[in-house]
Each structure stands twice: as structure tokens, then as C-alpha cells.
Amino acid sequence: MPDAVELIRVKRDGGRLTDADIAWLIGAYTNGTIADEQMSALLMAIFFRGLDSAELTAWTDAMISSGERLDLSGLRRPTVDKHSTGGVGDKVSLILAPLVASCGAAVPQLSGRGLGHTGGTLDKLESIPGWRAGLSNAEILQVLADTGCVICAAGDGLAPADRRMYALRDVTGTVESIPLIASSIMSKKIAEGTAALVLDVKVGSGAFMPDINSARRLARTMVELGNAAGVRTSALLTRMDTPLGRAVGNAVEVEESVATLRGEGPADLVAVTLALAEEMLTLAGISADPAAALADGGALAAYRAMIAAQGGDPEAELAVASHREIVTAEAAGWLRSLDARAVGVAAWRLGAGRARKEDPVSATAGVLCLAKPGDEVSAGQPILELRGDDPDRFARARQALTGAIEVGAEPPEPAPPVLERISGVELAG
């Protein structure tokens, strides 16, 4: 039997772990044979020494094998999913899943909750009365068969090693490791059973990866893992210097998502959503025009069906915050930048996000962007509207916005929302 301490030393000293070593390590940690402090030491060694391509493939496979896999083979539609690395105002999944479903695909969107300044898809949807995030595997398959799309939490049986390891990484300073990030994301997505996957890798101040080189490395690593596992995988690098759309929060993002499904969405949000939809449909082998599905009401109908199938009332009025404050422009000119991270932190401090996974979130708290970069503004013009139910939170939210709004004499250069595409074909070449 392998020895945990010896394998920690191997990786600490820059050696490589065999497939058998990795399978034993992940299995032993999942069943409690390896203690948290030993896995913490190994994760720190990986943080500094990395994993080569073969090690990373074996590590991801072992995490998948630690639990069950969803079997989507009985569905009549081709399956395709999307994963975002997280951003500010990123409500794309709420629009994208029903949009792609309305074009003929089945979209099994297993999503997460927000932590820190980035929002969580499940938190947003839970602002809809009656909507349920926790579904059994049988319920997931039924909703997919009935509506073509589902957005829900991953079950406890899906890649349980990742769940334990993620919690450990969070408290040991080992989150920011590309191999560990890639294996965490891809183990869950591969175990989900989808045949194709598009990755939305955010780049900028509000993203997990603030610079394009790091984002590109992460995207390429995940695309390689997906294709090696037999999942057709590609990635888009998308901009996250400015909040996506105009709403940042939970209920306010649901409202903006529904408006977008009605054909009334902000241009940047629509552009990113359509680019991802086109990529998903291509990987799924479906010839359809997602812009037409957005315009003709088909996507909105699929959204309403999905919400109702998960116990929600798509016609229900959403809760509204009891307190509002306005942040204005200090000078006249062109709004040159609106820092995404600062806006995300402000929404978090108002109650829209959480500092720890067990913290509650407010459905009503958030920030509305009343102007976006490229708009001409006057001195004193409202730029942001802060919303929340706890007036004591507003001072710290305002503090987070110090320096977040830049007004200048010239408009900013136009910034395309989609920066780059990375596919398995390019990697193979």
C-alpha cells in the first residue's frame, strides 16, 4: 500500500505521481484514511510544483471515480452544458440554458452558489418563490426530458472528493492553482454526463483570473481535460472588467434575465449569451439561430417551463429592497470605467453575497448600473443605485466603490465582450 507521507515528499521535491499513486490518494482521502493535514500538505506541494498533463488527467479521473456519474443517454436530445468561472452580474446561465434548449438541445446546468464578490446562479434563482435547487437524479432527468433544460445543485454523490478538497483549499491558501481549479471544475462537469461543454472563462478585475495569460492557461487546461475524457469541449474568454449587464445581485439579476428573454436585454449581456449559445449549438451538432429563438419567445417559454418544473412560479412578483441610495458622477465627461470587482464587493456588502458558504444571502440586495462605460455623463448624474434591506450596510458598500468610477474627457476605446476562442482542435494542432 502506498504511504501518504512518502507521496507528499515526492511531489514536494518536484517528482511525479503515478496513476496508481493518485487513485490511491484520492480514494483514501474520500474514505477518511488520509487526514486533512496530509491532504493540505499535498495540495500545497501541488500549488508550488504543479501537475504535469498525465498527472492532471489521472487526478481528474480519480475525482470523478470518487462518486457517481449521471447517465443522460436516455434523453432524446443532444446534451451540452456551459460553465462560467464566475463574474459580476453574470446571469448568463439563466438566459442561456432555456435559449439553447429552445433550439433543440438538452442542457443539464449543475450550478453553484456565490462566494465573495462573485454571484451564484442558485442564489439568484432562489429569489423566485417556490423554486428548488436540490433535485434528485431522477428529478433532474425528468425536468430535462420535459423542458430541455435544468439548473440545479450538484448532488452529494457527484465527485465527492472535490467537495471535501475544495473546502480544504479554501482554508489553506491553495485555491489559486490552475491544475487544482481545472480538475475541480472538470471533474464535476464530466461526472455530470454531458456530451459537450463550453467554458466561459472570465478575464478582468471582476474575474477569478484578472489577466488574459492566466485565463488562457486555465482555459486550455480545461479544454484538454474535457476532450481527453471524451467530452467535446471548447472555451470562450470573455471580458469582466465591467459588470455584465446592468443588474448585480439576486432578484435584480433574475429580472434582467427575464427582460433579456423578452428581447429587452443590455447589449453586452446579449452579445456574450449569443456567442456562448452559438458555440454550444455547434458542439451539439445543432443548426439553429439562437438570436431568432430569443426574438420569437421560444427561449422565454422554455425558461418558464423550467422554473415551473422546479416548483417555482415564473409569474410571481420578486421581492424588492426597502432601502435605496444613489452614487453619482463627480464630474462631467465620458464614463471611462466602472470597476467590476468594486461593484461586486459593494453588492456583497449590501447582503447579496456571502463570506462563508453557510452564510445566508439577501434576495433583494444589489447594485443597478444606471450608466456603463462609453456613456456621456454630467456632474451629479446617477451612476449606481444601491439596494438593500439593512441601512447599516450602505456605508461599507459605498466605501467599496471608492475609485471605482472613472470619468474622463475622452470616451473609452470600444471593448469587445468576447476576447478569444480556444478549441480542442487548436490544441491538437
- pLDDT over threshold 60, residue 347: yes
Lowest mean pLDDT among 1-5, 176-180, 196-200, 260-264: 1-5
Predicted TM-score (pTM) of the model is 0.94
Q: What percent of the chain has pLDDT over 70?
A: 98
Q: What is the mean pLDDT of residues 179-188?
A: 94
Q: How far is CA 287 from CA 77, 99, 103, 290, 413, in A?
A: 13, 14, 8, 10, 34
Mean pLDDT of the chain, nearest integer: 94
Amino acid at 109: Q
Cα–Cα distance between 225 and 161 in angstroms, integer?
17
Q: Please list the active-site residues.
A: 83, 162, 169, 184, 188
Looking at residues 172-190, what average pLDDT do you find? 92
> Where are the chain's structural domains?
4-65, 80-315+418-428, 323-408
Q: Is the pLDDT of residue 428 over 70?
A: no
The dotted CATH code for 4-65 is 1.20.970.10
CATH class of 323-408: alpha beta
Contact 81, 140 (CB under 8 A): no
Q: Which residue has the cell 448532488?
A: 155
The single-letter DSSP state of residue 289 is -
When pLDDT is cut at 50, 70 and 90, the band that residue 425 belongs to is low
Q: CATH number of 80-315+418-428: 3.30.300.30, 3.40.1030.10, 3.40.30.10, 3.40.720.10?
A: 3.40.1030.10
Sheet holding 366-369, edge to edge: 247-249, 366-369, 382-388, 323-328
